[in-house]
Amino acid sequence: MSAIDSQYLIPFTDEHEMVRETVRGLVNDRIAPRAVSLDESHAFPHEAMQELAELDLLGIYVPEEFGGAGMDFVAYVITMEELGRGCGSTALTYTAHTGLCITPITILASDEQKKRWLPELCSGKKYGCFGLSEPGSGTDAGSLTTTAVRDGDDYIINGTKMWITNGKYAGYMVTTCKTDPSQGRGKGISSLVVPMDSPGVSVIKEEDKLGLRASSTAQVFLDKVRVPAENLIGEENDGFPAFMKTLEGGRIAIAAMALGLAQSAYERSIEYAKQRETFGRPLAGHQTIQNYLADMAMKIEAARLLVYRAAFMKDAGLPFGKEASMAKLFATEMAMEVTSNAIQVHGGYGYVREFEVERIWRDAKLCTIGEGTSEIQQVIIARNILGEAAKAV
């Protein structure tokens, strides 16, 4: 295979195809039919999470010795695309657990720590969440103010974490805390695993969101929370880089979710255009509608190439930060365009709940914000392109 081929071909394996077929079957039979009721009720998708656990997908890329399926990152991205196609809320719940909580543990934790936490997380006995954002530090994650002070064999944690997906239902939160305030922005930060039933942990608010309404988004208050020092993962004061690495992989996952949402809106638009008649012929016979659908097809396929190229680069051990940001920026903005145009194709029916494209559009918007906004992805891409020259901008 030539150098250019290795960059642009997508060599899915039999295992990858098996994962896609399995998840698609679950989505079509069980998850997608529940999407409307979950959106209306705001009910946490516990049933779907347990179904994913039964298929060994909650720990899809965790080594088997720690309770996972031992697959690769591409298999995880395939799962995210298929879940996004069926129910955005379920996809977000899944990636917060599998991508954001489990990943820092697999990167930083000792084998003994992995054996303590990963089997419960992989089996779905407990759900996980990721405590990075705070009321005053979202995009500027390095300016966090939550502190962890060593007290004998424990750390005492004080602070507030915000936008915590799964926060209300999680058994563990992998969180960042400032352990050495004397160090500057983005430094002196450690990673700790906090049992959510610890005294002093409270969910003080659950957000009422535009979309992804069945995923739990909580504000978590940590008031003198005592956590054993053995819950520190990685080195003290050096946990922040692993969280940033986690977000790089998370960007690919969110891009895959956006890809699935766009695919669903596109498929619904094709079906509607073939069935709906205007001016004595199917809607699909009008050139304007054909143009909409052609653009949808083209941009979805372009996004798919970017998403899976980034995923394969990650699995190959290659630097993938720029490619992850490109995939996220393009796929998520594409999803907003495709879902908006899907509403246009449906006309007035696209604006009502019955035809679901309005829900998909609402769900897609978060993808341009979470795991780093579109604007931050542009900054990351530009810095990779320009190098030192970007610092003058």
pLDDT of residue 37: 97
84: domain CATH number is: 1.10.540.10
pLDDT of residue 214: 98
Give the residue from 239, 264, 290 where a domain finishes. Answer: 239
Diameter over CA atoms, the chain: 80
201: domain CATH number is: 2.40.110.10
pLDDT band at 188 (very low <50, low <70, confident <90, very high): very high
Pair (173, 59) in one structural domain: no
Give the residue from 184, 216, 239 where a domain finishes. Answer: 239
Mean pLDDT along residues 100-115: 96
Pair (245, 387) in one structural domain: yes
- Number of domains the chain is built from: 3
Pair (387, 275) in one structural domain: yes
Pair (232, 121) in one structural domain: no
Q: What is the pLDDT of residues 314-342, one digit of tens each?
A: 999 999 999 999 999 999 999 999 999 99
Mean pLDDT along residues 280-286: 90
Pair (90, 144) in one structural domain: no
Pair (122, 16) in one structural domain: yes
Pair (296, 351) in one structural domain: yes
Contacts of 336 (CB under 8 A, 6+ apart): 361, 364, 365, 367, 368
Q: Is 267 a catalytic residue?
A: no
Dihedral pair phi/psi, residue 172, rounded to 5° = -135, 145
Pair (202, 270) in one structural domain: no
Q: What is the pLDDT of residues 245-264, one digit of tens each?
A: 899 999 999 999 999 999 99
pLDDT of residue 392: 58
Pair (8, 123) in one structural domain: yes
- C-alpha to C-alpha distance for 198 and 184, rounded to whole angstroms: 29
Pair (206, 217) in one structural domain: yes
pLDDT of residue 9: 62
Domain enclosing residue 16, as ranges: 3-127
Q: Is pLDDT of 3 > 60?
A: no
Q: What is the pLDDT of residues 128-144, one digit of tens each?
A: 999 999 998 877 777 89
Catalytic one of 40, 267, 371, 388: 371
pLDDT band at 1 (very low <50, low <70, confident <90, very high): very low
Instruction: Select the more confidently predicted residue: 144 or 293.
Output: 293
pLDDT band at 4 (very low <50, low <70, confident <90, very high): very low
Mean pLDDT along residues 177-203: 94
Question: The tokens 């563990």 sit on which residue?
Answer: 172
Q: What is the pLDDT of residues 351-373, one digit of tens each?
A: 999 899 999 999 999 999 999 99
Question: The tokens 């250019």 sit on which residue?
Answer: 4
Q: Is pLDDT of 393 > 50?
A: no
Q: Is pLDDT of 211 > 70?
A: yes
pLDDT of residue 2: 34
Q: Is pLDDT of 170 > 70?
A: yes
Mean pLDDT along residues 164-187: 94
Predicted TM-score (pTM) of the model is: 0.94
Pair (68, 188) in one structural domain: no
| Mean pLDDT score of the chain | 94
Q: Is pLDDT of 147 > 60?
A: yes
Pair (120, 149) in one structural domain: no
Instruction: Select the more confidently predicted residue: 390 or 152.
Output: 152
pLDDT band at 388 (very low <50, low <70, confident <90, very high): confident
pLDDT of residue 168: 97
Q: Is pLDDT of 157 > 80?
A: yes
Mean pLDDT along residues 221-232: 98
Give the residue from 239, 254, 285 where a domain finishes. Answer: 239
Q: What is the pLDDT of residues 45-73, one digit of tens each?
A: 999 999 999 999 999 999 999 999 999 99
